[in-house]
């Protein structure tokens, strides 16, 4: 028999003893007391298990959130377009936080309207309707720290009902995505069913993770915007530099064209070697040439005939003749010196000395006569007046170069020049008159006729010779006035 002492109340544990006269009522009371204690202990264990389970779940959510953020951080860089940032973020939310649907609502206009721009977990029909969906959030998300958490126990507002119906997610969390001071959009993720009855779709830890994700999108978006701004600035600057480069290139082309024109003009005035020296040093030193051949032309009857012509007609006729002479001078490698009135002056053997200056200069004189004969024939056919050309040459030493600092002109000086001028003035129309010094250098190539000693002004008696023609083996025409390739090869090989 168990004997129980009498407790003061039911919560006081009764004393237990073995007694033969135990009271049944006391025994029942003791049994009830210990049963109550057992129940209390069992409830405490269940509560502890529930707390532990909740903590574990919370830790799991946090770990998955941290993994999600780390994954986003690793996969997203500053140069990634914001569209791809959001797509990857929504995919990570659905996968890591076990959401059924997630969507980004972009801010439009200046009010509180938002439209779906990116979504994951939606069927094609809903996605096709995205462009027509507009949600008015009003003051539902007034600042970056606010959020909207919806479960069965949440009071349904028109906005919540609209989101649940049109996006098909009855339980969701929505958070603002803020860039600077402006709300760029709303990040929304939800489930079809509650995880637990009347429990929100995410725990407080999940809210923190979602906030972090929204912040991550904000930072990524800001970075993307900043990168886009920088990229645009780079593109604009690149375009400016490209335009500047093209402008500079065009300017360089223009400068090169002008430089070429200037050089061409300079080379029309000065020999190339003299022009180069003048550009490089600012001066061109006159040079002494031991041997050069100087050629003068003059038109017989020019004064009388030009008196019957207008000034323009005179210029035109002289231009035709002198242009023909220029072609001949270039063909034979001579250097044009100048024209004075109706007189034309050129020379061979300068500015670069050579050994063939005399035969080349005499051959040029004959071809000038040939050109004049052709010109005269046209004038005769038109019954127009014309003039004949006298040509004279002499070979000897000269000084050539540029003197002065204004209006540069290449010129030659010396007794050879004066003698060549006397050869021309003592020539006859349609004839080429040369000195004995020139004949000594050209006799193998030309048929010449001695004129004897002729008195020249300031010179006394001077031996002169008419050049009749090129020898047949050196002539390209029957009249012997144009040199052939054999002449150029043979005479051109003469050394000084």
- The CATH code of the domain that includes 118 is 3.30.450.40
Pairing of strands 432-435, 446-456: unpaired
- Give the other-Cβ count within 10 Å of 74's Cβ: 8
Which pLDDT does position 302 carry in this prediction?
Answer: 87
pLDDT at site 6: 44
Lowest mean pLDDT segment, chosen from 20-24, 168-172, 428-432 = 20-24
CB proximity list for 369: less than 8 A, separation 6 or greater: 389, 391, 430, 431, 432, 481
For residue 67, tell me if it sits in a domain: no
272 assigned to some structural domain: no
Map the chain to HEC letters. Answer: CEEECCCCCCCCCCCEEECCCCCHHHHHHHHHHHHHHHHHHHHHHHHHHHHHHHHHHHHHHHHHHHHHHHHHHHHCCCCCCHHHHHHHHHHHHHHHCCCCEEEEEEEECCCCEEEEEEEECCCHHHHHHHHHCCEECCCCCCCCCCCEEECCCCCCCHHHHHHHHHHCCCEEEEEEEEECCEEEEEEEEEECCCCCCCCCCCCHHHHHHHHHHHHHHHHHHHHHHHHHHHHHHHHHHHHHHHHHHHHHHHHHHHHHHHHHHHHHHHHHHCCHHHHHHHHHHCCCCCEEEEEEEEEEEEEECHHHHHCCCCHHHHHHHHHHHHHHHHHHHHHCCCEEEEEECCEEEEEECCCCCCCCHHHHHHHHHHHHHHHHHHHHHHHHHCCCCCCEEEEEEEEEEEEEEECCCCCCCEEEECHHHHHHHHHHHCCCCCCEEEEHHHHHHHCCCEEEEEEEEEEECCCEEEEEEEEEEECHHHECCCCCCCECHHHHHHHCCCCC
Q: Is residue 215 part of a domain?
A: yes
Q: Looking at the structure, do residues 200 and 101 belong to the same domain, yes or no?
A: yes
Please report which confidence band the pLDDT of residue 442 belongs to, taking 50, 70 and 90 as the band edges.
very high
User: Same structural domain for residues 213 and 306?
Assistant: no
Which of 78 and 136 is assigned the larger pLDDT? Answer: 136
Say how many domains are in the chain. 3
Query: How far is CA 238 from its chain centroid?
Result: 8
Same structural domain, 350 and 437: yes
Average pLDDT of the segment spanning 17-40: 65
Please determine, for residue 77, whether its predicted confidence score (pLDDT) is greater than 70.
no
Decide if 378 is inside a domain.
Answer: yes
Flag the least confident range among 9-18, 133-142, 462-471. 9-18
pLDDT for 5 equals: 43
Asked whether residue 306 falls in the same domain as residue 202, the answer is: no
What is the pLDDT confidence band of residue 3, given thresholds at 50, 70 and 90? very low
**Model confidence over 305-361: pLDDT tens digits?**
888 888 898 899 899 999 999 999 999 999 999 999 899 999 999 989 999 999 999
Q: Is the pLDDT of residue 37 over 80?
A: no
Residue 470 lies in a domain: yes
Give the torsion through C-alpha atoms of 144, 145, 148, 153, to 10 deg.
-170
Assess whether 330 and 472 both reside in one domain. yes
Cα-Cα end-to-end distance for the chain: 159
Q: Assign residue 379 the CATH number of its domain.
A: 3.30.70.1230
- The fraction of the chain above a pLDDT of 70, given in percent, is 83
Residue-number span of the structural domain to which 198 is assigned: 76-229
Name the more confident of 355 and 117.
Answer: 355
Asked if 294 and 435 sit in the same domain, the reply is yes
pLDDT averaged over the chain? 83
What pLDDT, on a 0 to 100 scale, did the predictor assign at position 424? 95
406 within a domain of the structure (yes/no):
yes
pTM above 0.75, yes or no: no
Work out the average pLDDT over 273-299.
Answer: 86
Backbone angles phi, psi at 429, to 5 degrees: -60, 130
Q: Across 56-60, 253-257, 411-415, which has the greatest mean pLDDT?
A: 411-415
**pLDDT given at position 79:** 64
- 71 or 484: which leads in pLDDT: 484
pLDDT of residue 359: 97
Instruction: Place 197 in a pLDDT band, splitting at 50, 70 and 90.
Output: low
Same domain assignment for residues 145 and 196: yes
Compute the radius of gyration of the chain from its Cα atoms: 57
Does a structural domain hold residue 45? yes
Same domain? For 304 and 354 the reply is yes
Query: Does residue 426 belong to any structural domain of this protein?
Result: yes
Question: Tens digits of per-residue pLDDT, 381-402?
Answer: 988 888 899 999 999 999 998 8
Phi, psi of 216 (to 5 degrees): -60, -45
pLDDT at 140 over 70: yes
pLDDT tens-digit readout, 144-181: 889 999 988 889 999 999 999 999 899 999 999 988 78
Q: Do 161 and 298 fall within a single domain? A: no
């Amino acid at each position: 028999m168990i004997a129980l002492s009498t407790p003061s109340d039911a919560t006081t544990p009764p004393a237990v003893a073995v007694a033969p006269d135990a009271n049944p009522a006391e025994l029942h009371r003791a049994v009830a007391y210990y049963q109550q204690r057992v129940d209390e202990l069992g409830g405490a264990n269940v509560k502890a298990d529930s707390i532990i389970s909740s903590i574990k779940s919370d830790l799991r959510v946090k770990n998955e959130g941290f993994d999600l953020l780390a994954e986003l951080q690793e996969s997203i860089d500053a140069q990634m377009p914001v569209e791809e940032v959001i797509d990857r973020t929504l995919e990570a939310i659905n996968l890591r936080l076990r959401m059924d649907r997630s969507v980004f609502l972009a801010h439009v206009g200046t009010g509180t309207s938002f439209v779906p721009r990116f979504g994951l977990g939606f069927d094609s029909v809903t996605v096709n309707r995205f462009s027509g969906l507009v949600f008015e959030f009003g003051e539902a998300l007034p600042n970056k720290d606010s959020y909207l958490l919806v479960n069965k126990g949440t009071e349904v507002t028109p906005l919540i009902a609209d989101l649940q119906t049109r996006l098909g997610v009855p339980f969701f969390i929505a958070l603002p995505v803020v860039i600077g001071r402006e709300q760029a959009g709303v990040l929304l993720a939800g489930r079809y069913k509650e995880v637990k009855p009347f429990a929100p779709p995410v725990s407080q830890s999940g809210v923190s993770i979602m906030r972090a994700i929204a912040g991550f999108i904000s930072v990524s978006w800001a970075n993307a915007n900043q990168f886009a701004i920088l990229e645009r600035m780079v593109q604009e600057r690149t375009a400016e530099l490209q335009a500047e480069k093209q402008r500079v290139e065009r300017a360089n082309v223009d400068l090169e064209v002008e430089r070429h024109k200037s050089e061409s003009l300079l080379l029309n005035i000065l020999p190339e070697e003299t022009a180069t020296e003048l550009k490089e040093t600012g001066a061109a030193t006159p040079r002494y040439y031991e041997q050069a051949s100087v050629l003068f032309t003059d038109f017989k009857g020019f004064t009388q005939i030009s008196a019957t012509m207008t000034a323009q007609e005179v210029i035109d006729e002289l231009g035709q003749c002198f242009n023909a002479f220029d072609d001949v001078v270039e063909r034979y490698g001579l250097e044009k010196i100048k024209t004075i009135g109706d007189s034309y002056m050129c020379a061979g053997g300068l500015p670069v000395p050579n050994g063939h200056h005399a035969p080349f200069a005499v051959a040029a004189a004959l071809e000038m006569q040939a050109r004049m004969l052709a010109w005269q024939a046209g004038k005769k056919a038109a019954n127009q007046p014309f003039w004949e050309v006298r040509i004279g040459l002499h070979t000897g030493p000269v000084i050539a170069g540029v003197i002065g600092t204004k209006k540069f002109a290449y010129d030659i000086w010396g007794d050879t020049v004066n003698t060549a001028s006397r050869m021309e003035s003592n020539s006859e129309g349609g004839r080429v008159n040369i000195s004995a010094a020139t004949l000594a250098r050209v006799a193998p190539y030309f048929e010449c006729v001695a004129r004897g000693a002729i008195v020249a002004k300031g010179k006394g008696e001077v031996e002169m010779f008419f050049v009749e023609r090129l020898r047949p083996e050196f002539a390209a025409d029957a009249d012997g006035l144009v040199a052939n390739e054999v002449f150029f090869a043979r005479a051109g090989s003469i050394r000084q």
